[in-house]
Homo-oligomer: A and B are copies of this chain.
């Protein structure tokens, strides 16, 4: 099986032009097949303010109404995605920018309204593995923004972490997949106040111990649960750390299912 890296970058990289350039150079040097997934960070909120579009937050969750979806589509699907593709093309990475609508790459449903109506937010129902497979076979590197569609004409704002995990899970039928979550820390910390306390490896047994000892920050628990979910679905390994970890030379947390 060929190796495939699915890399997700967050707002901290996207919002810093120097950090982004450095990351894209590192990404272009990663060997093997690869897919990049990106969100848009705080740029959407800034643009909403600029355009006098109200940003609605309910219970700490952002609501995506039609005008905010337009902003997200312009920023994530347009400016951020196309700028990254152009930069990657300049360093000989044959990038192709897509949303989930393009080639029916990622189909979703509008999140059902229960206590909260999140608006145009998508819950993924299917990743088009054969489409991604064809692109990779042509030597292309898909660059996916955090937008899906419902196949009925509606674009949907979708969590980039979830997109990366779902692509990784689907592609593990065809490839040996590693899933890389780049974020603002060096990895999962045993002590949130000590940046040097990166936990090198988390296996199911270790995870149990860490949780029992209350050693993992509560905000990381659902993230790590999702990582194990991806591993159980066939993903080979998950890495969590700063963007620089993709060079292979940096401290980070490896999450794997095998306890050895």
List the interface of chain A (C-beta within 8 A of B): 50-51, 70, 73-79, 81-83, 85-87, 89-90, 94-99, 101-104, 134, 138, 140, 147, 149, 151-155
Contact = CB atoms under 8 A, between A and B. Distances in A.
B94 A155 contact: no
If over half of A's interface residues share one DSSP class (helix, strand or loop), that class is named, otherwise mixed; here it is helix
Contact of A102 (B70, B79, B85): B85
A90 to B, nearest CB: 4
A111 to B, nearest CB: 17
Number of copies of this chain that the complex holds: 2
A239 B38 CA distance: 41
B140 A103 contact: yes
Tell which of A75, A85, A94, A149 has the most Cβ of chain B within 10 Å: A85
Tell which of A98, A102, A147, A153 has the most Cβ of chain B within 10 Å: A102
B85 A99 contact: yes
Nearest to A90: B153
Contacts of A75: 74, 78
